[in-house]
């Protein structure tokens, strides 16, 4: 019984750690988007008032938005904030709903892992080729590897959520 309680305690602590980590990453993604919005406003004002936009604003926006999207996914999945249509499943037995959640979690884990893998492969390809943005010369691989951090965290969250659904199904 002590090992079962210890396992539950470790699971709870890991869940608290994941929640704090994913919230911090999501907040960083939000701050990044606020920075992009501020830069966009300044660039537009500079363009219309002084004929001097921020050089490369489009490139920075493109990279930052891609990175920030991946910063939000882990927290959203951990908090079960994905859109779910329960039209067909609302009246199912709770055990069947748990089974569906488990299958969904497994599928999402596989997809998140594939996305993380492809971001890694793409980032390595861009690093090897030395590809940069057109105006500022920013290395493209930066965006890939920063997004990979979010995708890797999403994969870890998916594995954890799947394991929780699996345990709930076994009860």
Residues 116-171: tens digit of each pLDDT: 999 999 999 999 999 999 999 999 999 999 999 999 999 999 999 999 999 988 88
Contacts of 131 (CB under 8 A, 6+ apart): 139, 140, 141
What secondary structure letter does DSSP report for 132? B
Residue 171, strand partner residues = none
The percentage of the chain sitting over the pLDDT mark of 90, rounded to a whole number, equals: 77
Predicted local distance difference test score (pLDDT) of residue 2: 39
pLDDT digits (tens, 9 = 90+) for 53-77: 999 999 999 999 999 999 999 999 9
pLDDT at 3 over 60: no
DSSP calls for 59-114: HHHHHHHHHHHHHHHHHHHHTT-S----TTTTTS-HHHHHHHHHHHHHHHHHHHHH
Q: What is the mean pLDDT of residues 18-42?
A: 97
Domain boundaries, the chain: 2-170
User: What mean pLDDT value characterizes the chain?
Assistant: 91
* Residue 36 and residue 64 in contact, taking contact as beta carbons nearer than 8 Å: yes
DSSP 3-state of 8: helix
């Amino acid at each position: 019984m002590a090992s079962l309680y210890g396992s539950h305690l470790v699971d709870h602590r890991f869940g608290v750690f994941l929640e704090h980590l994913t919230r911090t990453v999501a907040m960083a993604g939000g701050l990044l988007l606020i920075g992009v919005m501020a830069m966009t406003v300044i660039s537009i004002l500079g363009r219309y008032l002084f004929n001097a936009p921020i050089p490369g604003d489009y490139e920075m926006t493109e990279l930052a938005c891609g990175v920030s999207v991946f910063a939000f996914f882990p927290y959203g999945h951990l908090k079960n904030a994905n859109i779910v249509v329960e039209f067909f499943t609302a009246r199912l037995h709770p055990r069947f709903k748990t089974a569906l959640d488990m299958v969904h979690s497994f599928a999402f884990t596989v997809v998140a892992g594939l996305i993380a893998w492809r971001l890694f492969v793409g980032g390595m390809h861009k690093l090897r080729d030395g590809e940069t943005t057109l105006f500022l010369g920013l290395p493209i691989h930066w965006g890939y590897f920063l997004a990979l951090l979010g995708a890797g965290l999403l994969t870890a969250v998916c594995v954890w959520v799947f394991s929780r659904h699996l345990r709930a199904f076994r009860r």
